[in-house]
Amino acid sequence: MEARTLYDKLWDEHLVRQEPDGTAQLYIDRHLLYEVTSPQAFAGLAQESRVLWRPQSSLATVDHNVPTSGRAQGIADPLSRLQVDTLGENCRAHGIAQFTLQDRRQGIVHVIGPEQGATLPGMTVVCGDSHTSTHGAFGALAFGIGTSEVEHVLATQTLLMKKSGNLLVRLEGALPPGCGPKDAILQVIRTVGADGGAGMTAEFAGPVVASMSMEGRMTMCNMAIEMGARAGVVAVDETTLAYLAGRPSAPVGEEWDAAASYWRTLVSDVGARFDRVVTIDCSSLRPQITWGTTPAMGGDIESIVPDPACEIDAGRRAAAQRALDYMDLTPGQRLADIVFDRVFIGSCTNSRIEDLREAAAIVRRMGGRVAPTIKQALVVPGSGLVKEQAEREGLDAVFRAAGFDWREPGCSMCLAMNEDRLAPGERCASTSNRNFEGRQGAGGRTHLMSPAMAAAAALAGHAVDVAALDDSGA
């Protein structure tokens, strides 16, 4: 048989049928739901009096809209409350498992799926959310879908789509001290471009990825979408299996053994053909920070804000100028001099236990408190279980003692659908994945970075090169 990529294998395994024009029907194994993109889908089903094809494939949580403090008072915003209540009713009516706001397993949809073992290698995983690519870290084919597709999956457990191309991103060398998966993916996006992965499924591979934890792989696949890719995938290895063993929805006993031996085949074959290969040597990687309004508009922490006039391409020049105007930055300004109003440590990119450990380690190392010029430094765990784990490890105490706000799980200030938001003109050091105009609140300015960098920014009040911190934390 012809050598196949991991993506080819996942595709072939789920192909129900294919039309001559390339339109394919794919079987969907896992459907994750949350409050924002599901109500119309359920309403559509009701209108047609359709029933769910396989309700046990679905798992629902509430995350985008929910408050991260004062939960006992319920949800103040009427639209958010309606969406959350509607999801609850729909799940009850259709027999879908759900983590309500009161459930300790509640959290961001892309955190709870893997945490529960609801995301498994070899699955097709969909959700009405673009960052569904996160789940590809497990050797699953995972992608975001629109609300009408949510309805289609609920009714048929299949999707119509066309196959994408194969992009291989090889990360060579090793991550230097102070740099982590977030720096690696920001560098990748900067290299490939904000739409450089369009029409592709990106496989992340190479020694850096092989030695990365599942949390790190999830951070990378999460942001595959930010370079335009349809999905991101990572080959299954022993790290994948070790993460999944014992998870509530993972198989056990003989079923585990059988599954694991199949899962180990979920790698790209030697000689498999990729449409494009991008190789990045990570040995010289530096901590990253974005200055613009796409994740590709960023640079090494010791660099400067680039001059749009140096862009040869007129379109890129205009985009860079517009970004600088919006971000209120000047060409030549040192990125390390950027001063923040707020700090956000959270989101489906960086709210897992390792991210919180990384941030807390910096807080311990630098000592001191959140800078007086910082109005608010939020730490929002990705799930109730991440929060409990962090509290068992005493990380909450480290954050609180330094003046951070320790919150309940949800999307929070990643996209400002709840009350956690920037005021117009405010500047935020954020571990999330999007720095688009208004993303964290109308007129707000977002600088993307790693959890370590965000923690250091909170303490210093400005951007800090965490790779250059000496042991005294200065």
Binding site residues, as ranges? 348, 411, 414
Nearer to ligand IPM, 64 or 445 (CB): 64
- The contact mask relative to ligand SF4 for 131-150 (x = CB under 6 A, - = no) is x-------------------
Round to whole Å and give the CA distance between 306 and 237.
Answer: 40
Region label for 193, one of left (φ > 0), alpha (ψ between -120 and 50) or beta (otherwise):
left
Give bridge partners of residue 289 from the DSSP assignment.
Answer: 299
Distances (CA, A) of 294 to 271, 401, 444: 34, 34, 14
Instruction: Select from 415, 457, 458, 466 the one that contacts ligand SF4 (CB under 6 A).
Output: 415
Q: Is 130 a residue that touches ligand IPM (CB under 6 A)?
A: yes
Residues 32-71 that bind ligand SF4 (CB under 6 A): 63-64
Nearer to ligand IPM, 65 or 124 (CB): 65
Residues 154-173 that bind ligand SF4 (CB under 6 A): none
Q: How many residues bind ligand IPM (CB under 6 A)?
A: 8
Strand locations in 36-152 (E): 58-61, 97-99, 124-127, 141-144
Round to whole Å and give the CA distance between 163 and 89.
Answer: 35
Q: Residues annotated in the binding site for [4Fe-4S] cluster, as ranges?
A: 348, 411, 414
Q: Is 191 a residue that touches ligand IPM (CB under 6 A)?
A: no
Instruction: Select from 57, 432, 435, 446 the one that contacts ligand SF4 (CB under 6 A).
Output: 432
**Are the beta carbons of 97 and 58 closer than 8 angstroms?**
yes
DSSP 373-401: T-SEEEE--SBHHHHHHHHHTTHHHHHHH
Nearer to ligand IPM, 222 or 240 (CB): 222
Q: Report the first-to-last Cα separation within the chain, whole angstroms.
A: 58
Tokens of 180: 């982590």
Q: Which does 37 bind (CB under 5 to 8 A by kind): ligand SF4, ligand IPM, none?
A: ligand IPM
Q: Which does 347 bind (CB under 5 to 8 A by kind): ligand IPM, ligand SF4, none?
A: ligand SF4
- The contact mask relative to ligand IPM for 388-427 (x = CB under 6 A, - = no) is ---------------------------x------------
- The contact mask relative to ligand SF4 for 330-369 (x = CB under 6 A, - = no) is -----------------xx---------------------
Residue in this structure with the two tokens 């991440």, named with its chain if needed: 386
Local structure of 290: helix, strand or coil: strand
**Are the beta carbons of 418 and 333 closer than 8 angstroms?**
no
Nearer to ligand SF4, 138 or 274 (CB): 138
Q: Which does 108 bind (CB under 5 to 8 A by kind): ligand IPM, ligand SF4, none?
A: ligand SF4
Q: Are strands 342-345 and 427-430 parallel, antiparallel or unpaired?
A: parallel
Tokens of 232: 């991101």
**Single-letter residue type at 69:** S
Give the H/E segment covering residue 243: helix 238-244
Q: Which residues bind ligand IPM (CB under 6 A)?
A: 36-37, 64, 129-131, 144, 415
Q: Which residues contribute to the site for ligand SF4 (CB under 6 A)?
A: 63-64, 108, 110, 129, 131, 347-348, 411, 414-415, 432-433
